[in-house]
Each structure stands twice: as C-alpha cells, then as structure tokens.
Amino acid sequence: MLSYLHGFHAGNFADMHKHAALWLVLSHLRKKKKPFCVIDTHAGSGWYDLGSEQAAKTGEWKDGYARAKAGSNPPEMLAEYLDHVARFDPVAMGRDYGVREDDDYRGPFYPGSPFIVREMLREDDELVLMELHPREHEVLHHRVKRDGRIHLHKRDGYEGLVAMMPPAIRRGLVLMDPSYDVKQDYQKAATAIRQAWDKWPTGTFMLWYPILEDGFDAELRRSFGAIKSSGGVLCAELATDQGGAKGRMRGTGLLVINPPWQFDQQLEEIGNWLAKTCKLPGPAKHSTRWLVAAE
Ligand code: SAM
C-alpha cells in the first residue's frame, strides 16, 4: 500500500538534516575527477511547490526550511546548500525540469533528493532513481526524462538496489529514504542495505529513519551496528524528548556506512545549528556517534 506523498512534508526539519547530509556526501564525491554514481531507492516526485495546497495543509516546511533560510550564520556547507535551494526555480528552467504549462505553480520551490543530486552531477556521473508510486513516478519521469545521466525505474527500491549491486561506476552513494508506510519497511531497509553492502563494501550507504513514540529505530541501529565496515558506521540524530505521539515525528535519524572523511564533524556542526534554528515538538539536540569505528 502506497499512501505517503512527500509533497505534504517537503522542506520539513527532517529534510533539512537529511538533505544537508546528502549535500556533504556529494561535495566530497565531486572532489575527485573520477565519475561517481548515486542510487536513490525511494525518489519521490523530484521537486515540490511549497506554495501548493499539500504543503499548506501541514505547514511543515515553515518549521524547517523557512526557519533555516531565515537563521543567522549557518555553517559554511549548510549555507551552500541553503543557497542552492533558494536559487532553485524549476519554472524558470521550463521543459527541462518538467514544468507543465497548464499547472498553477506558486512557489517557492524545494528540490527533493533527485534534483539535489542532479545539481551536483558532472558529465560522466550517473543517477539511478527508483520510485514505485504510479503518480509520483509519472511526475518524476516527466521531470528527468531529458537528462541522459539519469535513469529512472518504476521498481521496488529494496529489491532493485540489491539486483543492481555492484554498480558499474564503483565510487558513489546509495540513499535509501523509505516512507515507512508499513512497519515491514524497517526490516526490508536493513536487509537490503546489508545485502547491497556485502556486494559493494566500499560504497557509501545512507538510510533515513523517523524517530517516533512507537518507532523501530533501535532495531535499525542494532542491525547497522553489526555491519563491520572498515569505513565505519555513523548514526546522526536530531531529536527532542517531547511529543511524537500519534505518528508525529519527534526526531529524524541517519545511518551512514563508510561516510566521507570529516563528514561526522561537519554534520555535527550543521545538526547543532539546526537544533537551535528549526522547530521540533520540544527543545532539540543533535548527536553523532560511531556504531562501528572507522579503521
Ligand atoms: N527521497 C525523496 C527526497 O528526499 O526528496 C523523498 C522520498 S519519500 C520519503 C519516499 C518515497 O518512496 C515515496 O515517494 C513513495 O512513493 C516511495 N516508495 C514507497 N515504497 C517504495 C518502494 N518499495 N520502492 C520504491 N519507492 C517506494
């Protein structure tokens, strides 16, 4: 059952943390000339109109992106990312970004993971996207079909990821950002990443998870603690002790296998800044810890 639509949540505090981390990994991959690939197993529709009825219904982006954009002195790499978002204007890009003439866009706009990665791709880099929701897939297809570096599949992201391992380009990142519509997603995510890492032990893997009152995040951390990767396994969380009832998030987490050099320090600085700038259900803290130490 696919009921989740990211348009209701785009630009919230969890997106700020996750997308800043994605930006850090991409910036690192761009430091070497050798091509890289990114595999985004749960892609969404690519970009979002924050002026839409969907976005207005939850208003979540006002507690996330709007606050971050207005915040003072963000860490350098976060400032770079926020700048990218502020400049992101698909309507100005027109057909290349899949803008439909009959749609009533309002803006501002927010790039989802496919368009954050697209911004960072060079000529020989590649982006593989998977999206299972028929409508989201159709919209995303329209938005990326003119870019030869991007390959979109209407396919289950867990099964698809394992089947694609190892990728032809051996430097890169897997981003897994499930909607956790059903609790089996936790187990499926942990199993797929474990199997994919077995086949591609030098890749960087980043899994997002929500922190909820009745969540299964502890189980995920335990599974990742058993992945003895020489590049280490890092856990970073932005959370509060308060709230989280009725399926509302009280925090957001990332598990990262083989993070780039100094990623932990950079994300800690960004996370501390987001903790005091974004609005969570209560006072927020950021933590970064190694579940498996890098050798
Ligand atoms: N990664 C996106 C971003 O950062 O902009 C947001 C993705 S959203 C949290 C999760 C997406 O996964 C939804 O669009 C949903 O339709 C899709 N999805 C759910 N189950 C899936 C599956 N098994 N395989 C691929 N996509 C799936």
Q: Return the H-helix or E-strand segment holding 157.
A: helix 157-163
Ordered by where they begin, the domains of the chain are: 6-209+259-279 (3.40.50.150)
CA distances from 249 to 158, 187, 190, 216, 281 (A): 23, 19, 20, 12, 8
pLDDT digits (tens, 9 = 90+) for 156-169: 999 999 999 999 99
Distance (Å, rounded) from C-alpha 238 to C-alpha 211?
9
pLDDT band with cut points at 50, 70 and 90 for residue 244: low
- Token couple for 104: 């009533």
- Name the E strands within 163-276: 172-176, 204-211, 233-240, 251-257
Is residue 224 within 8 A of residue 235, CB to CB? The reply is yes
- pTM value > 0.90: yes
Chain centre to alpha carbon of residue 266: 17
Q: Average pLDDT of 275-283?
A: 96
Cβ < 6 Å from ligand 1: which residues? 2, 4, 6, 42-44, 112-113, 130-133, 136, 156-158, 177-179
24 or 104, which is more confident: 24
For the chain, give the mean pLDDT.
Answer: 95
11-48 burial, b at 16+ Cβ within 10 Å, e below that, comes to bbbbbbbbbbbbbbbbbbbeeeeebbbbbbbbbbbbbb
Beta-carbon count within 10 A of 86 CB = 12
Is residue 75 within 8 A of residue 17, CB to CB? The reply is no
Is residue 40 flagged as an active site residue? no
Determine the pLDDT at residue 153. Answer: 98
pLDDT band with cut points at 50, 70 and 90 for residue 199: very high
pLDDT digits (tens, 9 = 90+) for 99-151: 887 778 899 999 999 999 999 999 999 999 999 999 999 999 999 999 999 99
Residues 6+ apart with CB under 8 A from 165: 195, 196, 199, 200
Region of 107 please: left (phi>0), alpha (psi -120 to 50) or beta: left
96 or 236, which is more confident: 236
Which one from 177, 181, 185, 264 is the annotated catalytic residue? 177
The answer to whether 119 is annotated as binding is no
The answer to whether 177 is annotated as binding is yes
Determine the pLDDT at residue 214. Answer: 76
- Token couple for 31: 């430091």
Determine the pLDDT at residue 245. Answer: 67
